[in-house]
A = this chain, B = another copy of it.
Amino acid sequence: MKQAEIRSDIAWATPKKVVVHGLDLCEEIVGKIDFGQMAFLQLFARLPDERELRMFNAMMVILVEHGITPSSLATRMTYAGAPEAVQAAVAAGLLGLGSVFVGSLDNAARLLQASLPDPRNVPDIDALASSIVDDYRARKEILPGIGHPFHKPIDPRAPALFKVAQETGYDGPYIRLMTAIGQAAEEKLKRALPVNVTGAMAAVASEMGIPWQICRGLAVAARSVGLVGHILEEMRQPIATALYLRTEHEATAHLIPREHREEA
């Protein structure tokens, strides 16, 4: 069998030296760059400049903590059963970051990047937005990145992110397109559909040249930090056991025959 090449360009080590993306871990990374720079380095194989770093940090911090969600509850439930395996509790919480909660980020970024493959060659943004909205309506699909069931009338995180984009010079065609999609949808559907946090993230990621395929990865990496915070709180102030016991009781009480209820 011919051997296919197996090659990785990320890191190498000798007994005396560890090098990651061309930087000496002990001489050029530890004590020299911060966690945000390191995350950027790991993802883009180079260090960010100052404005890239500020924009990247803004995206990462917004993704860390989303409160009591299916994801943080899965982490807490797993910790309750396997407190010795903190890695498994974090993993369990990450596993639900799929099509429902984080997938719209990929979808919005894919829509933007497919609609505007070359950001230096920008067509009439309003006409493009209008045709995108018509296209989704014709296919009866939900437009990603606009509207929010809870954060109404506007998702405050979108303007917060766009403000940083403006300050760092990332207010380019993808942000204009995302905004125009929201406006076109509002006009055609006659209801408030401003850009939400997902749409804002997707637009900013596209401005930074981040391929849509890895947007979910950014969310997953940032959220893993958040989930460790939930484990720390579950250690001090647990809720998983109380929650499962009362859920078990409520969910199955209707099944227990009258003659067995007293003992239950």
- Asked if A189 lies at the interface with its beta carbon under 8 angstroms from chain B, I say no
The interface residues of chain B lying within 8 Å CB-to-CB of A90 are: 91, 94, 217, 220-221, 224
- Asked if A30 lies at the interface with its beta carbon under 8 angstroms from chain B, I say yes
Question: Contact string, A76-95, partner B, CB cutoff 8 A, digits 1/0?
Answer: 01111111111111111011
With A83-B99, A160-B31, A239-B251 as contacts: A228 and B78 at CB distance below 8 Å: no
* Partner pick for A15 among B1, B225, B233, B263, CB 8 A cutoff: B263
**A18, A100, A150, most chain B CB atoms within 10 A:** A18
- Asked if A113 lies at the interface with its beta carbon under 8 angstroms from chain B, I say no
Question: Contact string, A207-243, partner B, CB cutoff 8 A, digits 1/0?
Answer: 0000001101110111011111111110101011111
- Asked if A3 lies at the interface with its beta carbon under 8 angstroms from chain B, I say yes
With A68-B247, A81-B71 as contacts: A216 and B86 at CB distance below 8 Å: yes
* Partner pick for A87 among B18, B95, B246, CB 8 A cutoff: B95
The interface residues of chain B lying within 8 Å CB-to-CB of A264 are: 13-15
- Asked if A188 lies at the interface with its beta carbon under 8 angstroms from chain B, I say no
* Partner pick for A98 among B53, B84, B161, CB 8 A cutoff: B84
Q: Give bound CA distance, A26 to B197, whole Å.
A: 11
- Interface contact A232-B30, CB-CB below 8 Å: no
With A86-B214, A91-B94 as contacts: A12 and B250 at CB distance below 8 Å: no
Question: Contact string, A1-43, partner B, CB cutoff 8 A, digits 1/0?
Answer: 1011111111111111111110001110111011111110011
The interface residues of chain B lying within 8 Å CB-to-CB of A94 are: 87, 90-91, 94, 224
| A102 vs chain B, min Cβ distance (A) | 7
Q: Give bound CA distance, A264 to B82, whole Å.
A: 35
- Interface contact A256-B14, CB-CB below 8 Å: yes
| A165 vs chain B, min Cβ distance (A) | 9
Give the number of times this chain occurs in the complex, counting copies: 4
Size band of the A side of the interface?
A: 35 or more
- Looking at chain A's contact residues, is the secondary structure mostly helix, strand, loop, or mixed? helix
The interface residues of chain B lying within 8 Å CB-to-CB of A42 are: 64-65, 225-226, 228-229
- Asked if A70 lies at the interface with its beta carbon under 8 angstroms from chain B, I say yes
Q: Give bound CA distance, A33 to B14, whole Å.
A: 36
Q: Which 5 A-B pairs have the closest CB atoms?
A: A82-B98, A81-B96, A4-B242, A35-B36, A91-B91
Offer 6 A-B interface pairs, CB within 8 angstroms, sorted by A: A20-B64, A21-B65, A34-B57, A81-B100, A87-B88, A87-B97
> 5 extra interchain contacts, Cβ-Cβ under 8 A, other than A30-B157, A73-B243?
A1-B246, A33-B57, A77-B77, A81-B96, A86-B216
